[in-house]
A and B are shown apart, each in its own frame.
Chain A
Amino acid sequence: MTKELKDESGKRVHSYIPELCEQLRQKKIGRRDFLYTATMLGVSAGAAYAMAGKIMGQGAVVPKAAAQGKGGNLRCGMRLQEMTDPATFDWVPKSNVARQITEYLVRTGADNITRPYLAESWEASDDLKTWTFKLRKGVKWSNGDDFGADDVVYNFERWTDPATGSSNIGLFAAMVDTIDTGKKDDNGKAIMEKRMTSGAVEKIDDHTVRLNLNSAVLSIPENLYNYPTAIVHRRFSEEGGDLSKNPVGTGPYRLAKFAVGEEAVLVKRDPREYWGEEVSLDQIRYIDFGDDASAPVAALASNQVDMVYELQVSQIDVIKRIPGMVLHQAVTAQTAVARMQVDQEPFTDRKVRQAVQACIDHDSLLELAYRGFGAPAEDHHVSPIHPEYFKLPEQKQDIAKAKALLAEAGHPNGIQLKIDLNANVAWEIAAAQAMREMWLKAGIDVQLNVLPGAQFWGIWDKTPFGLTSWTHRPLGVMVMNLAYRSGVPWNESHYDSAEFDAALDDASGTLDVNERRKKMEKVQSILRGDAVISQTLWRSVFNAAHERVKNYQTHPTFYHQLDKVRIA
């Protein structure tokens, strides 16, 4: 029997850690991969940085925020939609208001490293099927209740209940069973229902929660910082189920005002009530400037806000010319995919989808739609910055092949399609226009149907053919589990492949980055081969803030982590 491994403070460490250190020493993996995996397995970020430093012969450099000053009010231009239930959020800006009130079990920083938050520490079993989270003690809800295991169990139960309608059910698929209800639908197909596996979440004591998974999953900590996984109070539904009306949370701010389409004001709670280090900003204010993308920039230029949520790539030059502005950039795995619903005509025929895919020249698309700020996409939704990315052979634009595929599918004279687009995102429209020209070459005549933002988000997962934004996630397998696994809520293309699911299970349960990368070859190839999506590009994201906003760092997902931010 192997001796149980302990770190310097006597805490048990995962059995894979020594091998991980060895891999780093032999330079089989990079420093970033090492930090990812070590922190994921429960090593604290500080300790992981120290280990990496020791192995690579550098000092233990842990990035630290500069010394803090107190006070200041931050004003940020951002759209404000309804903010009812964090579990059903489908838009990052919603979570940015909620993020200051409610908190997550873990927190992934702008450096893609996941650190403890409401969970003080966690451990994974060697087979990655049992995860134990130690919750922080002494955390109080804003209504005076103690935070504890009951809250966490309640949240897991809500997320995995299909009635909640939360996308989290896809992230935690390993805690869910699909059960035959015994009923049949109109086509005689059995109606299946998803239900949490009994015992999947277990309260060990008041401050310990254990997850018992059906299959190995390595991204559990990362999943717990996906934006709809904010922890709400155990009586959330009972007390109305509306965060904007009953804003109970563990976070450092309280909601002082919330008006859809106008503004949200968050005021610092009494620091003695808050468990963590005192936050700097006294007040955070989100102001909605409507659908006009130039309005927030005008507000920034005339000092009406300190920061804007997002900058379009066409606005970079404007910001550079305004004195006192800092342009923030983050390299990300954000993208938009022209996804086709595989159960809707004419996309039921794989050849049609492959033809759509074959028309795109990704290099020129990146240049045309995004001025080259990013990386060309490869139609499988795993980004080169994901640790497990496998480089597949490049797929070049091939118009002749597209035409042949269309002819085989019974459309020798071309085909007419309609794609739904979101009017709010300028680069996506530019990308769609460029793609339209490429598609036309093969006789695919695509009508661009531009819908106002709110209307688009009403149908994004319903339309047969649509261009959908996907935000950055730190691991490739996370996106795969959210968007392409059979039957999960955000599977917008209705893709249903047992082979893909099995390959994904295999990859999702593999800890070793190099091993996982090999397994991703299959996952990526199946997805690309089935031509579910025609992917636009990987984009860098930008936003801008006034130089008096200190310690702000753009998160690749635009998550607002503002606890260290202050106004100088």
Chain B
Amino acid sequence: MLVFVVRRLGTMVLTMVVVSILLFLVLEINVEGVAVKVLGPYSSEEQRNLWLDRNGYFDPLHERYVRWLGNALVGDFGDSVRFRVPVSQVLWPRLGNTGILALATMMVVIPLSLGLGVLAGMREGSKLDRSISITSIVTTSVPEFASAVLISAVFVFWLGILPGTSSMTDGFSIVQLILPVMVLVLYDFGYVTRMTRASMAEVMTTHYIRTAVLKGLPYKTVIVRHALRNALIAPFTVIMLQINWLLSGVIVVEFFFAYKGFGALLLEASLNQDIFLIEACAMVAVFVAVGTQMLADVGYTYLNPRIRFA
């Protein structure tokens, strides 16, 4: 197991290094472009050269890369053009906020979709299964920008019972989390439910379940002891992928509800060509993607010993 984890970690580091090289090449190989982004499109040649010289941009590429990576490793990504403060000062709180949003969403999505998925998959083709499946398909098909408008029309403008934005300027407020979480859950739970359902339905047709039922075990024990653990392997990976999506992909929801999260930051950084912020956001997003994938792999082997030494 240890060897496996170490090997996985190694792959993860390698991936990060490759990505960082690519990112660095794409954004920084053209030094003139960097200066333009930092100083504005119509800064003078002289200003740009002064700035480039002062920041060591005339050094050889590999030296610049090593220095850049070293700084990035200790959390120094440079100064944000838009926010006028070091990137780390905006990045970490924003990532934390998105973490909170993701956690809250997961706390609803996981029990909800696993429960519904198991219920549906337990008796494939039943009325309950059909209703759950259809609801899942419908909610997943509505994109977030549409459901966000619909939900805020109902809860904010019509009923007037929930806050319309979630900027959390008065400090953390759980009430302000409700609408964004609702939109995310609505979009996401159907997908996980259907994956769980499919996996559960497949397990229910296996011989060992049939045996367990035939030897007279109570139905509840069959489901909890024998079916569930095997049925959860596939949804586990899906859920891990959702974490990745929640941390870097909820731009629409964060923008709509003015939630000060990582997705909104990524958008703002791109719109403002805030180069160092873009670099930092990209590195973090890749880290999250690779990290959750590794967690998924490790968790997978724990759940399914057959994969352990594959």
Residues of A within 8 A of B (CB): 82, 84, 259-263, 285, 287-292, 294-304, 318, 321-322, 452, 454-455, 458-459, 462
Contact = CB atoms under 8 A, between A and B. Distances in A.
B256 A462 contact: no
B237 interface: no
How large, as a class, is the contact surface on chain B? 20 to 34
Interface of B is mostly: loop
A379 to B, nearest CB: 27
A301 B271 contact: no
B53 to A, nearest CB: 22
B271 A285 contact: no
Given A292-B255, A292-B256, A295-B257, A304 B164 contact: yes
A304 B165 CA distance: 8
Interface in B20-64: 40-42
B278 to A, nearest CB: 14
B135 to A, nearest CB: 27
B198 interface: no
Nearest to A459: B41
Contacts of A82: 84
Q: Which of A82, A290, A291, A294 has the most CB atoms of chain B within a 10 A radius of its CB?
A: A290
Given A260-B83, A261-B82, A291 B156 contact: no
Nearest to A257: B169
Interface string B123-163: 00000000000000000000000000000100011001011
A286 to B, nearest CB: 10
A216 to B, nearest CB: 35
Contacts of B169: 262-263, 285, 287
B192 interface: no
Nearest to B162: A302
A289 B268 contact: no
Contact of B273 (A295, A455, A462): A455
Contacts, number: 87
B247 interface: no
B160 A302 contact: yes
A65 to B, nearest CB: 29
Contacts of B268: 261, 290-291
Contact of A458 (B40, B163, B167, B264): B40
B16 interface: no
A262 B258 CA distance: 10
Interface string B252-281: 000111101000100010011100000000
Contact of A301 (B41, B160, B260): B160
A460 B134 CA distance: 51
Given A260-B84, A290-B255, A452 B260 contact: no
Contacts of B84: 82, 84, 260
Contact of A462 (B41, B167, B258): B41
A524 to B, nearest CB: 31
A298 B154 CA distance: 12
B156 A452 contact: no
Contact of B271 (A288, A291, A321): A291
B255 to A, nearest CB: 6
Nearest to B80: A260
Contact of B42 (A295, A299, A462): A462
Interface in B155-202: 156-157, 160, 162-165, 167, 169
B83 A295 contact: no
A246 to B, nearest CB: 14
B263 to A, nearest CB: 11
Q: Which of B160, B164, B255 has the most CB atoms of chain A within a 10 A radius of its CB?
A: B164
Nearest to B268: A261
Nearest to A244: B84
Interface string B48-91: 00000000000000000000000000000000001111000000
B157 A299 contact: no
A259 B169 CA distance: 11
B271 A454 contact: yes
Contacts of A454: 82, 271-272
